[in-house]
Each structure stands twice: as structure tokens, then as C-alpha cells.
């Protein structure tokens, strides 16, 4: 369950300074439908200002506050249990005086408050927002917790979207994204809400949504602290009467998420989904070019009154088929989504 309220004023001052104020509350059992069981409640408030520095560029700065409570259960992953036991203010659900994770006290929680400063810059020279034909959009954001936060971390993200005319009616589109996050101070890992996921229409098509990357102790996607995505598309000519509302393309997607952090519960190839009694062997989910997933396929976008409908059919060309100790990638060739357009 998520509730949010926001107010945006694009021209707070006569010289074009904009302001956005937001407040939200969430009560979630997991961040994606595929992740292992846990419960997190968060109250978040943020204030952001932005102002133009040129015809195509804007700077953004702001501050946010988050008050979170996370609870793991007997069915949570070892990675989530480790975060709860070593970050924030851990407690046992059974007894406030007992040590979290000791004896039968496997249901543990943690509470923490964090204060974040964030800044970014956007440069957008595209000829239009919907179905652009030329131009480039750069987005860079940096966020870090401040002194006084009970969990300390930073995240950084860069995204590039560019369109180039080729020959005749053909155009080339490239979308690339790199994101990274790391804990610092006494924190041992990123909060689960700050981990990155990949797979699906917005990252690597042909793979099930948010299913790529590190596998936790229960055989579910854990998320990573490093994300690399590339989507290259050859935009095909469309009939004149459909050109402003429909777009067809051939695509090549490459990407994955990786884990380079210092979680005190490491990843192994002995997971609950594969049974008991195996001897665990460590698995390194650090960045490796050979671990990048790739797919090729065809895609279509249709601008409808209800939003942009996106369809794709993909053929994975570098997937992991699985083994007796680790599950393979979840393939989803046909995918459909409603939302943003490239």
C-alpha cells in the first residue's frame, strides 16, 4: 500500500525557479513481486528546487527525510536478515531485550531515520518529449545521507537518451544508464529500497521484470548496487498517417545488475529453492562483462488517449540456463507496459 501527495510549482519565482514538495507513506511486503518476504513501512518527505542555467539545461537540488521500519520473517533471505541485524536500531519482535537473530528470535526488525541531500543536472535538446526524432537528453543525479542519519549511503545515476537520423526515414535511438550505490560509515549495506533491479521492458527486454542479477539465499532476486543498461534501437519508417502516434523498431538490449558491496552475509550457490544438505560455495556477483545479459527483438509503441502502450517480442541471446545449484534466468519473450515513451 502506498499513499503520496505532492505539489509542483514550475515557476515559483519570476526567473523560472521551480519547487516540488512531496509527502508519502508506504507499507510494503516486498519491492518487487519476485523478491523474498519482508515488511517495510516508510514515511518520506522531500522538497526539491530546480532552475534553468541555459536554454536546454536545468539544475536540481533538494533534501528529503525518511523514517523507516523494516521487519524480516522466517521466510526472509539471509541478506535481508543481515541488513536488519546490523543497521539502524535492531530489535527482536519477540522481546525488546533479546538479541536479534539469537536462539529462536529469528523475526527481527530495525528502525532508522535518514536525511538525504540530492542534486542533479538535466540537459535536454530533443525536438519534442513524445516520439522525438533528434536530440539528446542527459540526466545526472547524486544523493547522499547527511550527518545524523542512522543508515549512511550514497547513490549516483547517469542516463543518456539520444536520437540520430541515419539515412532516408531510418533513425537510431540509444538509451544507456549507469547507477551505483555504496554504504559508508558504520552501515554495512544499502537499504533494500535503494538496491537496483533489471529485467523487463525498461531495462533488458526478454527477461522477466526485475529478475536479473544477484540471487539471495531463498532463490529470489536480491537486487544489486551497480546497474548497467544499454538499449539500442533502429527506428523503422511508419505510415504517414500513423507517424505521430505509432513507432516501430528493432532493438538490441544489454545489461544487468551487480553486487560490489560488503554485505556480511555473502552470496552462495546453496539456496532454499534447491533443497538442503549441499555444501555452500561463494558466488561473486561483481561486475563481469560475461555476465551481461543480451536480447534482440522487435518493439512497437502506440500513443493512445490512456497513455503510451509499449509492446515487445525479444529473443535472449546470452541467458543463464541454470544449474543443479542455481536457478536460471526467467525468460519472458512478449512484454507489454503502459507508461513512458522513449
pLDDT digits (tens, 9 = 90+) for 116-148: 999 999 999 998 888 888 999 999 999 999 999
Whole-angstrom Cα distance, residue 54 to residue 222? 41
- At 85, the pLDDT band (50, 70, 90 cuts) reads confident
Instruction: Evaluate if residue 217 carries a pLDDT over 80.
Output: yes
Domain 2-230+257-293, CATH class in plain words = mainly beta
Alpha carbon of 247 to those of 243, 244, 254: distances in Å? Answer: 7, 8, 21
Whole-angstrom Cα distance, residue 80 to residue 75? 10
Sign of CA dihedral 216, 225, 258, 206: positive
Confidence at residue 261, expressed as pLDDT on a 0 to 100 scale:
74
Are 284 and 257 a contacting pair, CB within 8 Å? no
Mean pLDDT of the chain: 88
Q: Which residue ranges make up each domain of the chain? A: 2-230+257-293
What pTM did the predictor assign?
0.89
CB count in 10 Å sphere of residue 166: 10
C-alpha cell at 229: 543498461
DSSP label at residue 330? P
**For residue 79, how far is the Cα from the chain centroid?**
18
Confidence at residue 46, expressed as pLDDT on a 0 to 100 scale:
97
Instruction: Write phi, then psi, for 3 (nearest 5 degrees).
Output: -125, 140
Instruction: Evaluate if residue 167 carries a pLDDT over 90.
Output: no
Of 270, 189, 261, 184, which Cα lies nearest the Cα of 227?
A: 261
| DSSP character string of 87-151 | SSEEEESS-TTSPTTSTT---EEEEEEEEEEEEEEEEE--S-SSS--SEEEEEEEEEEE-TT-SS
Please tell me whether residue 130 adopts helix, strand or coil conformation: coil
Amino acid at each position: 500500500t502506498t499513499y503520496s501527495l505532492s505539489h509542483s510549482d514550475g515557476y515559483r519565482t519570476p526567473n523560472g525557479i521551480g519547487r516540488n514538495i512531496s509527502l508519502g507513506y508506504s507499507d510494503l511486503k516486498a519491492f518487487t513481486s519476485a523478491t523474498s518476504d519482508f515488511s517495510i513501512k516508510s514515511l518520506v518527505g522531500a522538497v526539491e528546487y530546480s532552475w534553468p542555467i541555459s536554454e536546454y539545461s536545468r539544475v536540481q537540488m533538494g533534501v528529503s527525510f525518511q523514517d523507516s521500519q523494516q521487519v524480516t520473517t522466517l521466510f526472509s533471505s539471509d541478506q535481508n536478515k543481515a541488513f536488519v541485524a546490523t543497521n539502524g536500531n535492531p530489535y527482536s519482535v519477540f522481546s525488546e531485550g533479546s538479541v536479534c537473530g539469537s536462539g529462536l528470535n529469528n523475526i527481527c526488525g530495525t528502525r532508522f531515520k535518514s536525511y538525504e541531500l540530492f542534486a542533479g543536472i538535466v540537459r535536454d535538446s530533443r525536438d519534442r518529449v513524445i516520439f522525438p526524432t533528434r536530440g539528446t537528453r542527459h540526466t545526472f543525479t547524486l544523493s547522499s545521507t547527511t550527518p545524523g542519519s542512522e543508515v549512511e549511503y550514497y547513490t549516483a545515476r547517469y542516463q543518456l537518451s539520444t536520437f540520430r537520423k541515419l539515412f532516408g526515414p531510418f533513425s537510431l535511438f540509444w538509451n544507456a544508464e549507469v547507477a551505483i550505490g555504496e554504504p559508508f560509515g558504520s552501515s554495512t549495506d544499502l537499504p533494500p529500497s535503494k538496491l537496483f533491479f533489471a529485467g523487463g521492458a525498461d531495462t533488458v527486454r526478454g527477461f522477466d521484470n526485475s529478475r536479473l542479477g544477484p540471487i539471495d539465499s531463498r532463490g529470489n532476486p536480491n537486487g544489486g548496487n551497480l546497474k548497467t543498461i544499454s538499449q539500442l534501437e533502429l527506428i523503422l519508417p511508419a505510415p504517414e498517417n500513423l507517424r505521430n502516434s505509432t513507432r516501430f523498431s528493432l532493438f538490441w538490449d544489454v545489461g544487468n545488475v551487480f553486487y560490489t558491496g560488503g554485505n556480511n552475509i555473502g552470496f552462495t550457490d546453496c539456496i532454499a529453492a534447491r533443497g538442503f544438505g549441499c555444501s555452500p560455495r561463494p558466488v561473486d556477483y561483481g561486475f563481469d562483462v560475461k555476465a551481461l545479459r543480451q536480447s534482440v527483438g522487435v518493439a512497437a509503441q502506440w500513443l493512445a488517449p490512456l497513455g503510451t502502450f509499449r509492446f515487445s517480442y525479444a529473443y535472449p541471446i546470452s541467458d543463464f540456463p541454470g544449474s543443479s545449484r542455481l536457478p536460471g534466468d526467467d525468460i519472458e519473450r512478449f512484454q507489454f507496459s503502459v507508461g513512458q515513451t522513449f
